[in-house]
Amino acid sequence: MSRLEFVFDGSEGQRIDKAIAEYMPQMTRSHIQKIIDMGGVTADGKPVDKGYKPKPGAVIVLNAPEPRVLEAKAEDIALDIRYEDEDLLVVNKPRGMVVHPAAGNLDGTLVNALMHHCDGKLSGINGVIRPGIVHRIDKDTSGLLIVAKNDFAHTGLSEQIKEHSFKREYRAVVYGHLKEPEGTVDAPIGRSEKDRKKMCVTYKNSKNAVTHYSVLEEYKKYSYIKLRLETGRTHQIRVHMAYLGHPVAGDKVYGPKNGVDIGGQCLHAGLIGFTHPRDGRYIEITAELPDYFNEFLDKIK
């Protein structure tokens, strides 16, 4: 059981769940509300409900149960391996596959498949639930992902990502036509205060984020573009393109409410380039556009 205690110094009329979320931004509002429903939050020693509005100076106490420890289990799931050696591998992830297990989604993930393929021999830097995972791509984004088999490789690859020498190129179809044929989006990304499950461009509790883009082709209502990541923030491309007013086609989170439905965002990680941490070789791997992407291009041409 973890305990949080603080004196409420917000304005009168603010709900208790929002007050706690502002004090602990790493917790989602829904998670806080569940703890409140279980009787885990008190104000001045008395249990409260979700609608309670504390007065300034109230002593708020939150007692949260310790999170259940999850552990990835090996599963025999076919993988599209594009490169592999004793230190690392590059896998072409299909759209719809989650990268690592989480509560409510414990199997069928890329990590489950990697545990079987590598016989459990993966780096342990990111813990038992994310073994080998150096960077991630979203469930409904397809494409290349690099995986470390040991901590030496993991550390070397992570340093390249931190220094922006790790090359990552994507292809996407976005709504509308961009003003310039190429450009750079340099806008910090952080978690949305309105919806904790979403990211947004913000200067509050954010990290710098840089995306370079160039237009490959234009169609009546869409543009086919290439993107290169300089940083790797959560949902970076999707947030940056929505920020420009050109969300990724098929994106149900950052796109228009009545947007096109193609089973996920039309976004593919088509190229990664890196220096091998063991011998210093530069390696560049590409993955062709998947069927769903080509079918959508054919439809809009």
Distance CA 133, CA 98 (A): 12
Choosing from 44, 85, 107, 138, the catalytic residue is 138
* 80 given a catalytic annotation: no
Q: Looking at the DSSP assignment, which residues form a beta bridge with residue 190?
A: 200, 206
- Identify whether the C-beta of residue 288 lies closer than 8 Å to the C-beta of residue 277: no
Kindly tell me the burial class for residue 193, based on how many C-beta atoms sit within 10 Å of its own C-beta (0-12, 13-18, 19 or more).
middle
- Identify whether the C-beta of residue 266 lies closer than 8 Å to the C-beta of residue 246: no
Q: Is 27 helix (H, G, I), strand (E, B) or coil?
A: coil
CA distances from 100 to 115, 116, 131, 183, 287 (A): 11, 14, 9, 33, 21
Distance CA 17, CA 222 (A): 41
Q: Helix, strand, coil: what percent of the chain each, to 5?
A: 20, 30, 50
Positions marked active-site:
138
